[in-house]
A and B are shown apart, each in its own frame.
Chain A
Amino acid sequence: MLKINNLHASVEDKVILTGLNLEVKPGEVHAIMGPNGAGKSTLGYVLSGRDGYEVQQGDVSFKGEDLFEMDIEERASNGLFLAFQYPVEIPGVSNMEFMKESVNATREQRGEERLSATEFLKKAKEACNQVQLPLDFLKRGVNEGFSGGEKKRNEIMQMILLQPSLCILDESDSGLDVDALQVVANGVNSQRDSTRSFIIITHYQRLLDYIKPDFVHILADGKIVKTGDASLALRIEKEGYAFLGKEYEGASA
């Protein structure tokens, strides 16, 4: 699915990733944890192709192709989905028309027919119910006036509609209460199958109580410094990042 080899990347001349390696196979769930400023969000942005994130070195293959050869929207319609930590508002553009365009762009890429308005509406309603957002959220402007939790659920709804093959969740749990967290987790779990992979970027172990990861990686200083199973996350919860070495002692879990 995804193979990251020795990735070095920077933002505004500040080096953030310094030789990151990661392989994600179909059906796997990888959690990436790490102290603040380790480069977790940067990884998501680099993979999705955000402007301003410069790749200095290394390569990434996505479904066997060179990821860096693709535009942002090509990566998206090829099945790479990033759930944003802070989704932006687009006033006046309804969630409905936005997602319809988005879904159809992906379908076109796959050589499928565009969905009719009725077909799309049916799917959208299902997804909306699944993340427990009232149906009028489909009519409202994209993220316009949504609360933090509503924005996160809106991201998961889009993920469900788009049926991507690789989902990167950037702190989709931050700022959520237990109920909302469960909604997000259920949304993700409902999408798990043998072909779809997940990268879950999180600061807290909490989300991993609900979404069981196959691997847990610790990202520090721009590279993965430790890899384990779900028990590694629990250890961080208890001990913080101190066991990584002296310099992380103060870092909060």
Chain B
Amino acid sequence: MSEQIEQALDRKYEAGFYSQIESDTFETGLDESVIRRISEMKKEPQWMLDWRLKAYKTWLKMDEPDWAHVKYPKIDFQAISYYSAPKSMADKPQSLDEVDPELLRTYEKLGIPLHEQEMLAGVAVDIVFDSVSVITTFRAKLEESGVIFCSISEALHRFPDLVKKYLGSVVPRADNYFAALNSAVFTDGSFVYIPKGVRCPMELSTYFRINEMNTGQFERTLIIAEEGSHVSYLEGCTAPQRDENQLHAAVVELVALDDAVIKYSTVQNWYPGDENGKGGIFNFVTKRGICHTNAKISWTQVETGSAVTWKYPSCILKGDNSVGEFYSVALTRGYQQADTGTKMIHLGKNTRSTIIAKGISAGNSNNTYRGLVKMGPKADGARNFTECDSLLIGNKCGAHTFPYIESRNPSAIVEHEATTSKVSDEQLFLCRQRGLNPEKAVSMIVNGFCKEVFKELPMEFAVEAGKLLEISLEGSVG
């Protein structure tokens, strides 16, 4: 029956259209002058430019990492344009009425209406189109409670001290090859600041779209949750269908001060390439958060897109009693390759972490979980629980698990379990005997497999994630 399952997994990429929007795009290529131009366009302070240039110099000396279980052609960094923005953005629109209607239509097509009255109540959205943030909704309402939600370029002007203090504090400039590149050329991204004791009144969300050809997207997100504050943040992404690979190298930094809680959810649906593995996004992302005393960071991700994914949202559990969580569903099909997982670095006493990773591989794809759990010498009473489950569909794909565990503390407890399974013929038969068609049956079984992760998503996203899997499983069944 696996043939039927594979057919059921065939799907179309629904976000693959291109929008005709006039853009200002840099010619391709990367050198110091490009970085100076980016900085200049954004009217950045000198320290920011210096920071970028230092990152660039470090990057030049670094080697592209080759340890991940992925294969892709060497990236030509000179063939990428490092800046592209809709022309209409020359003067940043102050309200939705000033936004290019074609841009608004793009988002409507993607199912994200930007008019506040049409939106799901309770979600504020920042829109990043190619290299720039286009608009952030519900700002007034958020500012009433002191929450700052704006593009990072804007934050650099309005709250330079905050940016200077925290930018690079969790993911240092030279952290890794792609983070160093991002530090040098990042163009925009979201900035969130939740003041002390404030529970953010609505979900915050950023929606990333790559539209132009030959551009890379290098955004940077910084979320600061002051003592005792709470925030839930969502991230979504899509790109047009193209034969060329495009690079997305983002950095996300989360700072959860004492007793703060940050929940960060991602539904990643970058263009995965066609059925022969041509085209698609290279998604090389560094995401990391630091937890101070009693703080909690929870990462939830649903990864269905990208040709190649290289992504390890991590937590540094610095403060005593802090908590890190990682819930992940990664679905690969066609020729997709995903190497994703997390790092939980336990430094403080009684720190806790939970990792639940579900990988589904189909077609000719390869799906890898890679994780690190590290118990430092001072992490008395620390505890980790990890569960990695793989589901294989067909026998041309691969499912891999590479967990690294390091412990230096006798009172710390680490537990790791991994299993692999398939959609069994018996399960499929039972579902069909009860009248379900194979597509519905597979999607139901796969959804059941992912349930532990989906229940961690905020309501709006859980629905989207469910639908995404449904779409994934739609197709012709003979």
Contact = CB atoms under 8 A, between A and B. Distances in A.
> A and B: direct contact (Cβ < 8 Å)?
yes
A84 interface: yes
Interface string A112-132: 000000000000000000000
B436 interface: yes
A237 B426 CA distance: 33
B434 A162 contact: yes
Given A92-B450, A92-B452, A97 B435 contact: no
B426 A88 contact: yes
A82 B433 CA distance: 7
Contacts of A84: 430, 433
Nearest to A89: B427
6 contacts: A49-B432, A71-B432, A81-B433, A102-B436, A105-B436, A162-B434
B387 to A, nearest CB: 13
Given A87-B430, A91-B448, A102-B436, 12 more contacts: A51-B1, A72-B432, A72-B433, A81-B433, A82-B433, A84-B430, A88-B426, A92-B450, A92-B451, A93-B444, A97-B444, A98-B431
Q: Which residue, A73, A76, A84, has most C-beta atoms of chain B within 10 A?
A: A73
A93 B448 contact: yes
Interface of A: 48-51, 71-73, 75-77, 81-82, 84, 87-88, 90-93, 97-99, 101-102, 105-106, 109, 141-142, 158, 162
Contacts of A81: 433
A92 B440 contact: no
B447 interface: yes
Interface of B: 1, 424-427, 429-438, 440, 444-445, 447-452
B388 to A, nearest CB: 15
B433 A76 contact: yes
Ranked 5 nearest A-B pairs via Cβ:
A92-B448, A93-B448, A105-B435, A72-B432, A102-B434
Contact of A72 (B429, B444, B449, B450): B429
A107 to B, nearest CB: 9
Nearest to B423: A90
A85 to B, nearest CB: 12
Contact of B434 (A50, A71, A76, A91): A76
Contacts of A90: 427, 430-431, 444-445, 448
Contact of A93 (B1, B425, B435, B447): B447
Given A93-B447, A101-B444, A141-B448, A48 B433 contact: yes
Contacts of B445: 90, 93
Contacts of B426: 88
Contacts of B427: 88, 90
A190 B94 CA distance: 68
Nearest to A50: B429
Contacts of B425: 51
Contacts of A71: 432
Contacts of A141: 448
Contacts of B1: 51
Contact of A109 (B431, B435, B449): B435
A71 B131 CA distance: 51
A102 B435 contact: yes
Contacts of A106: 435
Nearest to A72: B432
Contacts of A72: 429, 432-433
A105 B448 contact: no
B436 A73 contact: yes
A98 to B, nearest CB: 7
B81 to A, nearest CB: 44
Contacts of A99: 434
Contacts of A49: 432
Q: Which residue, A102, A105, A162, has most C-beta atoms of chain B within 10 A?
A: A102
A84 B432 CA distance: 13
Contacts of A51: 1, 425, 429
A97 B426 CA distance: 19
Given A92-B451, A93-B447, A73 B424 contact: no
A88 B433 CA distance: 12
B418 to A, nearest CB: 16
A49 B447 CA distance: 25
Contacts of B437: 73, 105
A84 B433 CA distance: 10
Contacts of B424: 88
B473 to A, nearest CB: 13
A30 to B, nearest CB: 20
